[in-house]
């Protein structure tokens, strides 16, 4: 198993990314996890209760320890919780994702967090690939990924079933970071 040597805290010009903590359950739930408009393009179901968020945080804590999942909170420099960024590690093959509160869309936070994390991930030993994908309808996320240096792949027809879109199978666009 390739374990990553990721920092528990990352500072960008406007943001502070920090290893997710159990104490952030309410912020996560109310900021984005319970909001259908925020979770529409996510691979996990919209949280219906704070217990769903606490279960996720238990998974995230264990994932960090085992080296399989590295999840960060995203906060402004003024400590306002605005979203999360996560990296799944499958023995050096990295997949990442992010989510922001709908009230924070359009401020460039996703691009800033993504660019910073790509620079860190690219330097990790044992990493074979860094990639993600978006629903083909998620144009905003595609722009973030392009601005962050990822290369768009060929559209994949009927590729992923999105639980928050009535389990509809959708076309997706893969993205990879050149190594």
Q: Where are the domains of the chain?
A: 9-132
Which pLDDT belongs to residue 92?
95
The 10s digit of each residue's pLDDT in 164-178 is 999 999 999 999 999
Amino acid 49: pLDDT: 98
What is the value of pTM for the model shown? 0.95
Architecture of domain 9-132: 3-Layer(aba) Sandwich (3.40)
Calpha distance 74→9 (Å, rounded) = 10
- pLDDT of res. 167: 92
Q: Where are the extended beta strands (E) located within 50-162?
A: 69-76, 81-90, 93-100, 129-135, 151-152, 156-162
Higher pLDDT residue, 78 or 143? 143
């Amino acid at each position: 198993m390739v374990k990553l040597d990721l920092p528990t805290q990352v500072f960008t010009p406007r943001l502070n990314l920090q290893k997710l903590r159990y104490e952030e359950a309410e912020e996560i739930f109310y900021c984005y996890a319970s909001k259908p408009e925020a979770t529409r393009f996510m691979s996990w179901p919209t949280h219906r209760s704070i217990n769903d968020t606490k279960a996720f945080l238990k998974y995230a804590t264990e994932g960090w320890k085992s080296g399989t999942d590295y999840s960060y909170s995203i906060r402004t420099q003024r400590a306002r919780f605005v979203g999360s960024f996560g990296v799944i590690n499958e023995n050096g093959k990295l997949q990442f994702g992010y989510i922001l509160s709908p009230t924070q869309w359009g401020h460039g936070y996703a691009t800033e967090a993504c660019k910073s994390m790509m620079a860190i991930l690219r330097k990790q030993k044992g990493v074979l690939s860094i990639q993600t994908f978006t629903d083909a309808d998620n144009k905003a996320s595609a722009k973030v990924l392009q601005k962050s240096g990822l290369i768009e792949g060929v559209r994949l027809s009927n590729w992923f079933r999105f639980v928050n879109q009535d389990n509809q199978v959708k076309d997706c666009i893969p993205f990879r970071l050149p190594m």
